[in-house]
Amino acid sequence: MDKTTILRQLETLLGQDKVLHRPQDVALYEYDGALDKAQPDFVVFPETTAEVAAVVRLANEHSLPFMPRGAGTGLSGGAVPVQGGIVVSFARMRRILDIDLPNLRATVQPGVVNIDVTTAVAGQGFYYVPDPSSQRACTIGGNVAENSGGPHCLAYGVTSNHTHMLEAVLPDSEVVRLGLPTADAPGYDLTGLMVGSEGTLGLVTEVLVRLVHQPEAVKTLLAVFDAVDNASNAVSAIIADGTIPAALEMMDNTAIRAVEAAKKCGYPTDAAAVLLIDLEGFTDGLQGLADHVAELCRAQGAREVREAKTTAERDKLWAGRKGAFGAMGRLSPSYYVQDGVIPRTKLPWVLHRVNEISRQYGFRIANVFHAGDGNLHPLILFDERDPAQVRAVVKCGTDILRVCIEAGGSISGEHGIGVEKREDMCDQFDGADLRAMVQVRAAFNPAGLCNPGKMFPTSKACYEVGKKHRRLPQVVAEDHTL
């Protein structure tokens, strides 16, 4: 690779102020919120779809890997340039292009920060539902790449349920539009295929998102439990009752203590677990529903159920939940977060197994997660300055994911696979499943230059968990001929 020639061509395409290449500059783009790191050769900052396409075309001419990057808040290494190449940052494509309230939609560029969509329409009584904990920093493009969720996706669905149409630059530099402005489109759901593809099928440059009306009324409850099992059983009881809260979140004592020390939200630090519950609807009847849910919690052993009386009280409770990951700095220099999904009824068993794994490895684990849809986020506390701890924490995380699979669940709910969990895909899927997915990627990305090294196993020695140890030698991430 002639870096000097490529640099000169990139600067000719975009201008010098839109290209980084010095090691001390590109070092800022070698990581996201996960553990893996790899330095790119170049970082570019296009401002238009045409510029993105030009960069992709140039990358193809030089057989140079390229990958999209939003705010770098991802938690699976999806934005890490594991093979070097060009990082395409969307930091300068951050405009809300159109707001169409009569049709409940908005058109945005991928660099728009998640919460800015809601801020733009909140004064007119609307909002954008998907609300990751990082919503004050993460971008819509990154949300699309990972099919992000958030606490309030229990009732309303994740990013794929709020994405009508996409504009994308395919790996060969062709610009396409996928989907239609209407809710339903004939033919294959190519929009749904692109959402959650982690930047391996193309670079999204424009998104038509769905807006919803703000609810007439909201009730927020904090249910306090002296046993984690009781809190877990209350989650199942609420859903089995036919009540679907807008949000149903759970925190254990380790998480509660960290959050309360950082945020002073009023969480009881002696509780084994709390449930944070949002109920939305019409003013008439909502208090009755809140009382009913409170009784369901008490029937499962809740010692107390508090109801936020003011918007300020509600915001304070939610500030604790939204700030839970950051609060872990009170307990440990580093944390390693997992993102498994399990059936709600298996919560007690799985959390017991997580505690056993915690003792086995000697790491404290804080649990704070989307209990309503069984999306776990165990936060494994460790010190990344210690290489031995880094190696051990990765093994600890893998063991937790295997427990999720054993419970009938999944190794990811919203953080994606990226680099972090690509080898764990062998535990979740058999050879036929993985081959089919690799073939889909190859149809869009035949040269393998678009965000390579993500989602699929890279080793020929790929085994299943358990006694069978079935070998899957044909599933290799960079084999595009399968």
- Interval 55-84 mean pLDDT: 97
- Interval 192-217 mean pLDDT: 97
Residue 72 is predicted with a pLDDT of 96
Q: What is the CATH number of domain 96-213?
A: 3.30.465.10
| Residues 400-431 pLDDT 10s | 999 999 999 999 999 999 999 999 999 999 98
pLDDT at 108 over 50: yes
Structure tokens at 318: 């939610």
The class (CATH top level) of 332-406 is alpha beta
Residues 6 or more apart from 299 whose CB is under 8 A from it?
Answer: 237
Residue 469 is predicted with a pLDDT of 33
- Interval 198-224 mean pLDDT: 98
Rounded Cα distance, 411 and 200, in Å: 19
- HEC assignment per residue over the chain: CCHHHHHHHHHHHHCHHHEECCHHHHHHHCECCCCCECCCCEEECCCCHHHHHHHHHHHHHCCCCEEEECCCCCCCCCCCCCCCCEEEECCCCCCEEEEEHHHCEEEECCCCEHHHHHHHHHHHCEECCCCCCCCCCCEHHHHHHHCCCCCCHHHHCCHHHHEEEEEEECCCCCEEEEECCCCCCCCCCHHHHHCCCCCCCCEEEEEEEECEECCCEEEEEEEEECCHHHHHHHHHHHHHCCCCCCEEEEEEHHHHHHHHHHHCCCCCCCCCEEEEEEEEECHHHHHHHHHHHHHHHHHCCEEEEEECCCHHHHHHHHHHHHCHHHHHHHCCCEEEECCCECCHHHHHHHHHHHHHHHHHHCCCEEEEEEHHHCECCEEEEECCCCHHHHHHHHHHHHHHHHHHHHCCCECCCCCCCCCCCCCCHHHHCCHHHHHHHHHHHHHHCCCCCECCCCCCCCCCCCCCCCCCCCCCCCCCCCCCCC
Phi, psi for 131 (deg, rounded to 5): -135, 70
Residue 460 is predicted with a pLDDT of 61
Q: How many CB atoms lie within 10 A of CB 173?
A: 18
Rounded Cα distance, 273 and 302, in Å: 10
Question: Contact, 49 vs 95, CB < 8 A?
Answer: no
- Interval 427-441 mean pLDDT: 93
* CA–CA–CA angle 35, 39, 42 (5° rounding): 140
Question: Contact, 164 vs 181, CB < 8 A?
Answer: yes
Structure tokens at 276: 């944070």
Tell me if domain 3-89 and domain 96-213 are identical in fold.
no
pLDDT at 473 over 70: no
- Interval 219-232 mean pLDDT: 98
pLDDT at 272 over 90: yes
Sketch the domain layout of the chain as residue ranges. Answer: 3-89, 96-213, 217-326, 332-406
pLDDT at 463 over 80: no
How would CATH label the architecture of 3-89?
A: 2-Layer Sandwich (3.30)
Residue 182 is predicted with a pLDDT of 78
Range 217-326 classified under CATH 3.30.70.2190: yes
pLDDT confidence tier of residue 462, bands split at 50, 70 and 90: low
- Interval 351-366 mean pLDDT: 98
Rounded Cα distance, 301 and 273, in Å: 11
Structure tokens at 74: 């991802």
Residues 6 or more apart from 164 whose CB is under 8 A from it?
Answer: 105, 179, 180, 181, 182, 183, 191, 208, 209, 210
pLDDT confidence tier of residue 458, bands split at 50, 70 and 90: confident
pLDDT at 478 over 90: no
Q: How many CB atoms lie within 10 A of CB 332?
A: 18
In the block, tokens 């439990």 appear at 225
| Residues 148-185 pLDDT 10s | 999 999 999 999 999 999 999 999 999 999 999 876 77
Give the closest residue to 206 by CA, choosing from 245, 148, 167, 264.
167
Residues 458/464/470/476 CA torsion (nearest 10 deg): -10
Question: Contact, 159 vs 195, CB < 8 A?
Answer: yes
